[in-house]
Structure 1
Amino acid sequence: MAKHRRRDRKFRLALTAAIAAAAFLPVAAVAMPSSGARPNIVGGTEASIGSYPYAVYLTDKNGNQFCGGVLVSSTAVATAAHCAKAVQRSDLRVVAGRQDKRTNDGKVVPVREVWVPDSFSDPGKGDDVAVLKLAQSLPYRPVNLPADDSPYAEGTQATVLGWGRTADGGARSDYLRKADVPVVSDAGCGASYSNYDSRSMVCAGYPQGQVDACQGDSGGPLVVGDTLIGLVSWGDGCARPGKPGVYTRVLTYAGEIRSEAESSRLVFW
């Protein structure tokens, strides 16, 4: 498996040979902080899909999970733009209501339309957001979108959710996992990444590292309570000191996400 790298940053995904370098590895779990002790994985604790019913993951037509996502309405999922572009729309599937990937719980639905900003070209340049419009309605509670910038205050505890790798270069998780990470100030994130853009990005993580998203977490949700503030986008390695995770700043795109979600409503004649 080969990781994508652009200068000093590593995108949170890895190409799989099985699908000819087109789809990405599953979401990696993230680690909870510990007092002096190294976390047993980079991945925190198992999470209940009942507590986070809006957490979903993406697969190709063969069931290979490669990214995460989040329900923003019964017929729309927000994810990272680089996830939406990883496979053809006709091969893209959303899996919802499934805590353990080894089961057949929940629902698997195709995607009938994809919205990506025209300005997107590279996660490290921002605008890494997409809306997937579903072919069927899902019976799970969607996430809330932010109304203002209050959840982005430095030190705010946010929760990141994902299914995949349990360490940088490690094995993937079969279960949905979660971990808490503090929001980093724009100045702090800018000190870590010269290409940081406060309009389109937000960082979260601890100075000492240990807690982070990782390869395959791309597109998964960063929430404060049940409000979506970020989508896993990119970073330098996983859980490295001084290198917090970089997320798409959802507030910047909340209006477009709402508009695209509303246009995704299924009409029956």
Structure 2
Amino acid sequence: MADTRRRIWSMAGLLAAATLSSGLLTTTASATEPDMPEAKKPPIVGGQPAKIAEHPWVVYLTDTQGNQFCGGTVAKANKIVTAAHCVTGEQPAAVQVVAGRENKQSTAGEVAKVTGIWVHPRFQNANSGADVAVLTLDQALPHQPLAVAAKQDAPLYQPGKMSTVLGWGATAEGGQASQTLQKADVPLFSDQDCQKAYPQYKADAMVCAGLPQGGMDSCQGDSGGPLVVENKLVGIVSTGNGCARPNAPGIYTRVSTYHDDVQAQLGS
């Protein structure tokens, strides 16, 4: 159906993108596609710079060498919600969380170690749903958590509702990661339109967002990051057919479906 939006610029990610063989559609740009000059590459594919002070709950994940590969959301002082495909099979010691840092080249904010990884027990791959995980940190972060959408938040998922996706991922399909936090405001699709774009789309597990004509979307490296509606986490960047292609919206984990499971991990 689609490709996950994890790392592509680290060496491991470049090799993975080059050898993808799981039956999913490739998301790397073709060799004949002209390279857009760096100054003209759109952020988060059609978005704009975002201030960490206005979105204090958005974080990014790195390996132990500091290479960013996914995003996440502070849901409790020491708990991060992210995508299962970002961390499945990983050992906690191999993952770090960077919070309060708008520019990846700066030293602002905090770097927390991960002491525990919970992956939803029904997760198999991003195309089958349950693409949600919760990380436990070795410290309490001083940043305001973001509320997690619950089952009663169905109105937040109405088609046409404007949502905001944030991340430090690729600025163009197959392109470079952004050094600074980016955001894009995209409307939610109806389940019927998502089904047309992705026949294997599961309405109870997923939600789509983007523009019918393309041009604005999350991309590789944004996986695990937040999709926000009215100050609630409604989606988690999961997968999609390329980035910002026409009639191919981004696919996000429908957080409300997994609210109770996530809340159990948050300990509240």
The bucket for the TM-score relative to the shorter chain is 0.7 to 0.9
Q: Which runs of 4+ in 1 moved over 4 A?
A: 19-24
Matched, 1:182 2:187: yes
The 5 Å alignment of 1:80-119 reads: 80-85=83-88, 87-119=90-122
| Residue among 141, 147, 165 paired with 1:160 | 165
Alignment coverage as a number of residue pairs? 242
Letter in 2 for 1:62: Q
Give distance in 2, aligned partners of 1:225 and 1:215. 25
Q: TM-score, normalised by structure 2?
A: 0.86
Give distance in 2, aligned partners of 1:243 and 1:89. 34
SS of equivalent to 1:13:
coil
Give distance in 1, aligned partners of 2:89 and 2:65. 14
CA shift at 1:138, angstroms?
Answer: 0.4
Extract unaligned runs of 5+ from structure 1. Answer: 1-7, 25-38, 264-269
Give distance in 2, aligned partners of 1:100 and 1:14. 18
The 5 Å alignment of 1:131-146 reads: 131-146=134-149
Find the counterpart in structure 2 of residue 5 from structure 1.
Answer: none
Find the counterpart in structure 1 of residue 206 from structure 2.
Answer: 201
Preserved contact between residue 4 and residue 85 of structure 2 (Cα < 8 Å)? no
Give distance in 1, aligned partners of 2:14 and 2:245. 26
Deviates more, 1:138-147 or 1:40-49: 40-49
SS of equivalent to 1:149:
helix
SS of equivalent to 1:95:
strand
Aligned-residue CA RMSD in angstroms? 1.9
More helix by share: 2
Extract unaligned runs of 5+ from structure 2. Answer: 18-39
Cα deviation 1:63-88 (Å, max 9, x = unaligned)? 01000000000010000001112632
Find the counterpart in structure 1 of residue 71 from structure 2.
Answer: 68
Letter in 1 for 2:132: V
Find the counterpart in structure 2 of residue 246 from structure 1.
Answer: 251
Deviates more, 1:208-217 or 1:12-21: 12-21
Alpha-carbon spacing, 1:260–1:202, altered in 2? closer, same or farther (3 Å)? same
Matched, 1:12 2:5: yes
Cα deviation 1:100-148 (Å, max 9, x = unaligned)? 0000000000111111111111100110000001111000000011232
Q: TM-score, normalised by structure 1?
A: 0.85
Cα deviation 1:182-228 (Å, max 9, x = unaligned)? 00010110010011001110000110010100111100000013110
| Residue among 236, 240, 248 paired with 2:241 | 236
